[in-house]
Amino acid sequence: MKKIISLIVIVIVCFINSANAQNYKLDSAAFRQISNHILTNYDCYKNLHDLCKQIGHRLTGSPQAAKAVEWGKETLEKTGCDKVYLQEVMVPHWVRGQEQAYLLGNTGLKEPITISSLGNAVGTGESGVQAELVLVNNMEELNRLKPDQIKGKIVFFNYKFNQTNVNTFDSYGPCVYYRWGAPSEASRRGARAVVIRSVSSAYDNKPHTGSMRYDPKYPAIPAVAISNLDADHLEELIGNKKKVSMFIRTTCQMLDDVKSYNVIGEITGSELPGEIICFGGHLDSWDIGEGAHDDGAGVVQAIEVIRVFKKLGIRPKRTIRAVLFMNEENGLKGALKYADLAEQNKENHILAIESDAGGDVPLGFSMTMEPSQRGRVTQWKKLFEEYGVTNFEREGGGADIGPLHRKFNTPMMELMPNSQRYFDVHHSANDVFENVHRRELCLGAIAMSHMVYLVSLYGL
């Protein structure tokens, strides 16, 4: 029966496609025009260079984040789009301070080790924390330990990135718990601090930071990441039945909230201005590296969509809006504010697209929407094929467009680049401009522009 239904669907799609032959040709020509322009001008790459090299990393609340807001506004204004404006939002202001750590062993071992405090974590205080390390590979192992095996110690969560998943986002998900929630689980059992293995696919010597949250029921204890090579080294040391202690001194702290902004640029729809397609990435980044893939790429791609529409004189029927969100990394305040204002202003978003999975070569779009809408998008697949964008199967959306989706059930999509390299650099000192590829970044901007072009023309 299922097969018969499939056949009927195929026949219907064939008829629809025949009816739309003229549109297909026009759309295909528009796709080509957009692609040729971006691949030969690559303004988004030059913009990324400026963002990474003139401003650098830009954690929420930092002077660089304020500069990035200015830069975003000016860069959008330069596109000549209809409106550029800011949405004020109060955001957390966490600062890293100083970091110092070494390993200590009963055989006279004293080795410095590079650490990176997890975002939102408390510091150790000036005098630091020194205690024996207890290695657990996962929560099950933690649960099996007796209270006196944890109390007063430093828990080392050595949970490993699963290298067997082909899509690395499938491996990222399970690891995140050990960064986000596990520190409080250690605190609950009396630990003095937590060290985590970096949430990363790379075998290198860079620790990867990222957001954490304390469970208010238990004391907030310091939490830091070490690199995967150091984690392997530590595993070996402890595995050799040696008692290994660690000294950690961090002065990170959460300061008072500060005022910041989402930055928005839009082209008003010529026929249906009330139907809004928003797309974007986040302007803030972690405070190491340059936030090039995460999420400078998404930011410059969103700006590029607006720029290419203006440059090529494509007047969208529906309103298209680039949103540079503030505070995705450690609070999501910008995204929440955006959704609140959309409600307050009675805005009608017909689609939200996020680019926050890096600037590598795009392979598809993940999406969360009604089956009929997904069917509509899938029908356009043929147009995307020659640009290598062929995967429309995965469910997905994005952190910054999540609040909008939850409030209005807005259909959402995320640009899906090749995932192999992203978690090598993500949240680390290696997330720099040099690790973004010019043509691949451009192809992502092209895919976003293509999708916005179709939805602005045909709706969803």
Site for its own copies in 330-389 (CB under 8 A): 361, 363, 386-388
Task: Give the one residue of 22, 127, 163, 345 binding its own copies; rule: CB under 8 A.
Answer: 163
Cβ closer to its own copies: 194 or 416? 416
- The DSSP call for residue 223 is E
Which of these ranges, 2-10, 220-228, 335-343, 449-457, lies near its own copies under the rule CB under 8 A?
2-10
Site for its own copies in 26-65 (CB under 8 A): 35-36, 39-40
- Residue 81 C-beta: closest distance to its own copies, Å: 25
Binding mask 297-316 for its own copies (x = CB under 8 A): --------------------
Asked if 440 is an active-site residue, the reply is no
Instruction: Report which residue type is found at 203.
Output: Y
**Residue 92 burial by CB count (10 A; 0-12/13-18/19+): exposed, middle or buried?**
buried
Cβ closer to its own copies: 10 or 21? 10
Cβ closer to its own copies: 370 or 386? 386
Task: Give the one residue of 214, 420, 458, 459 binding its own copies; rule: CB under 8 A.
Answer: 420
Site for its own copies in 176-215 (CB under 8 A): 201, 203
Residues 6+ apart with CB under 8 A from 351: 277, 278, 410, 411, 412, 413, 455, 460
Cβ closer to its own copies: 9 or 255? 9
Task: Give the one residue of 192, 440, 448, 452 binding its own copies; rule: CB under 8 A.
Answer: 440
Tokens of 200: 């990363």
Cβ closer to its own copies: 136 or 442? 442
Number of residues that bind its own copies (CB under 8 A): 31
- Residue 5 C-beta: closest distance to its own copies, Å: 12
Cβ closer to its own copies: 130 or 205? 205
Helix (H, G, I), strand (E, B), or coil: what is residue 424?
helix
Task: Give the one residue of 22, 107, 127, 164 binding its own copies; rule: CB under 8 A.
Answer: 164
Gap between the Cα atoms of 334 and 324, Å rounded:
9
* Dihedral angle sign, alpha carbons of residues 265, 325, 415, 208: positive
Query: Quick check: 24 binds its own copies (CB under 8 A)?
Result: no
- Residue 436 C-beta: closest distance to its own copies, Å: 12
Per 3-state DSSP, what percentage of the chain is helix, strand, and coil (rounded to 5)? 40, 25, 35
Adjacent-strand bridge partners of 412: 352, 368
Tokens of 415: 């640009």
Q: Given 304, 328, 329, 347, which residue is catalytic?
A: 328
CB 379 within 8 A of CB 16: yes
CB 411 within 8 A of CB 352: yes
Which of these ranges, 131-139, 323-331, 415-423, 425-433, lies near its own copies under the rule CB under 8 A?
415-423
Gap between the Cα atoms of 135 and 147, Å rounded:
14
Task: Give the one residue of 166, 239, 313, 344 binding its own copies; rule: CB under 8 A.
Answer: 166
Helix (H, G, I), strand (E, B), or coil: what is residue 284?
coil
CB 86 within 8 A of CB 262: yes
Torsion angle, alpha carbons of 162, 392, 359, 459, to 10: -150
CB atoms within 10 A of CB 141: 14
Positions touching its own copies (CB under 8 A) are: 3, 7, 10-11, 14, 35-36, 39-40, 163-164, 166-168, 201, 203, 361, 363, 386-388, 390-391, 418, 420-421, 437-440, 443
By annotation, the residues acting in catalysis are 328
